[in-house]
Structure 1
Amino acid sequence: MSAAFDADALARLFVEARAHRAKLGALPAGARPADADDAYAAQDATLRALSADVGGWKVGAKTHDGPIQGAPLPVDGMHKTGARLSMHTFGKAGLELEVAFRLGRRFEAGSGPYSDEEVIAAIESVHAAIEVVASRFSAWPDVDKPSQLADLQNHGALIVGEGVPYDAAFPFVSPAMTFTFDGAPLFNGASANPAGDPRRLLAWTVNHSVSRGRAVERSTVLTAGSYTGMAFPDAPGTAVGTIEGLPAVELHFA
């Protein structure tokens, strides 16, 4: 973490913005994250300030072999399929359809590092998930990358469908799927995750967490990037995501 950066100061701004459904403008000089290390320190400080348990992680990469970034998700932002959420809670919000993984074991803080094979072996179930992407910044998405990462990587909420047991034969690179809002399609074309096979992101997430002193609890959900891009509904309605081989996931936006 850079010497001039005050992670707790930025965390206080995020917590206040969440509490008052407010948006942040330009950050004070000492609260501006300069890089990923600053951003991760701010994430940790935000979870402490919220006194929030972690229910999941969002993780992604821009390319098949590019660097990975992630953020812990407070448990109160995790919802079961069929959730009813107010659009006004988030302000401008995007929706993404993703594949999520639920872990069947605990990884202790300070342990590891773990291999891809060890973490994949811990997957208990696979789920369709809708992520609500939202920001605490008024200028979003025109916000610098470290600030977005610090803001729990633009996390609004995660709606998780029912799961099926992990099957290595599932077509994780490009599963067949549909994503609709009140019956109208939210994306066209073939589904694709920019990270490629999202399972490559999972060991990084577990190792990142335990190396920072945070255990990964059994039943933690890891959601691993959008297959559909981001859609911005402009009125209330119902989003339904169907991924072949997985139970559908549904979100009611009021």
Structure 2
Amino acid sequence: MSAAFDANALAGLFVEARAHRAKLDALPDDARPIDATQAYAAQEATLRLLRADIGGWKVGAKSPDGPIQGAPLPGDGMHKTGARLALHAFGKAGLELEVAFRLGRRFEPGSGPYRDEDVLAAIESVHASIEVVASRFAAWPDVEKPWQLADLQNHGALIVGAGVPYDAAFPFVSPAMTFTFDGAPLFQGDPANPAGDPRRLLAWTVNHSVSRGLAVERGTVVTAGSYTGLAFPAAPGTAIGVIEGLPAVELHNA
């Protein structure tokens, strides 16, 4: 008989790994999440152990009508455009270019459920963002999916560009964009978000949060999936993401 899952035990391993820039090779029997419910419990336990405020969420889906999953992001991992980070400190770290939404109202714990139009009406601004994707597992990306979800969905850091007011006419499904590192392109082909229109992810995020007793504070940023896939720059330099209609976002890899 397998050991009962202990979200706090897994959270402790994640917090230790973050503190020492270490990687986990395996998990003890009682710290192996087998589904999303256990993974979400580990996410919340991790933020409690970090004593971290939720500064944002990362959320995504594998297809335009597929299931949604997400993770709360520690406030100290949120950065403004122009941030200087040492990507090597994350171990193997990838970069993605995304569209993020800043919410202009608070959603109370236990409230809702909210409809899409309720949450769309709360969008204060839209931003280009660069997600630093990183894992606490040595074998990543060859890691069990619930383990990755528990690990804040492979979150390293989020760099958020300046925003513009929300415009429903913006081409969210396929905006024109470039993503470069020291002038060299970081992706080929046409940008596409596997979730389709990323706005469909927002009400899920709010409802997921408040249903678990977590407020969504005014100013929370929700980054809603990559349009470019993962890129792995190997040297110091500057990543610049330009999404037409939004201010550019920059990350300096020190």
TM-score (norm 2): 0.99
Partner of 1:133: 133
SS for the counterpart of 1:94 is: strand
Offset at residue 3 of structure 1 (A)? 7.7
Partner Cα separation in structure 2 for residue 56 and residue 26 of structure 1: 28
Q: What is the count of residue pairs matched by the alignment?
A: 253
Q: For residues 109-188 of structure 1, what are the structure 2 equivalents within 5 Å? A: 109-188=109-188
Q: Establish whether residue 213 from structure 1 lines up as the match of residue 245 from structure 2.
A: no
Deviations, residues 55-106 of structure 1 (Å, cap 9, x unaligned): 0000000000000000000000000000000122201000000000000000
SS for the counterpart of 2:65 is: coil
Q: Establish whether residue 93 from structure 1 lines up as the match of residue 93 from structure 2.
A: yes
Letter in 1 for 2:162: E
Letter in 2 for 1:16: E
Partner Cα separation in structure 2 for residue 127 and residue 221 of structure 1: 9
Partner of 2:194: 194
Letter in 2 for 1:68: I
Partner Cα separation in structure 2 for residue 3 and residue 120 of structure 1: 42
Letter in 1 for 2:23: K
Contact map agreement 2:102 2:125 (CA 8 A) in 1 = yes
Unaligned runs of 5+ in 1: none
Q: CA RMSD in A?
A: 0.9
Offset at residue 45 of structure 1 (A)? 0.4
SS for the counterpart of 2:43 is: helix
Partner Cα separation in structure 2 for residue 117 and residue 190 of structure 1: 29
Partner of 1:11: 11
Distance 1:3 1:103, change over 3 A: farther
Contact map agreement 2:3 2:30 (CA 8 A) in 1 = no
Deviations, residues 2-57 of structure 1 (Å, cap 9, x unaligned): 98100000000000000000000110000000000000000010010000000000
Partner of 2:67: 67
Q: Which runs of 4+ in 1 moved over 6 A?
A: none
TM-score (norm 1): 0.99
| Identity %, equivalent residues | 85
SS for the counterpart of 1:88 is: helix
Partner of 1:242: 242
Letter in 2 for 1:218: R
SS for the counterpart of 1:73 is: strand
Letter in 1 for 2:90: F
Unaligned runs of 5+ in 2: none
Partner Cα separation in structure 2 for residue 112 and residue 236 of structure 1: 45
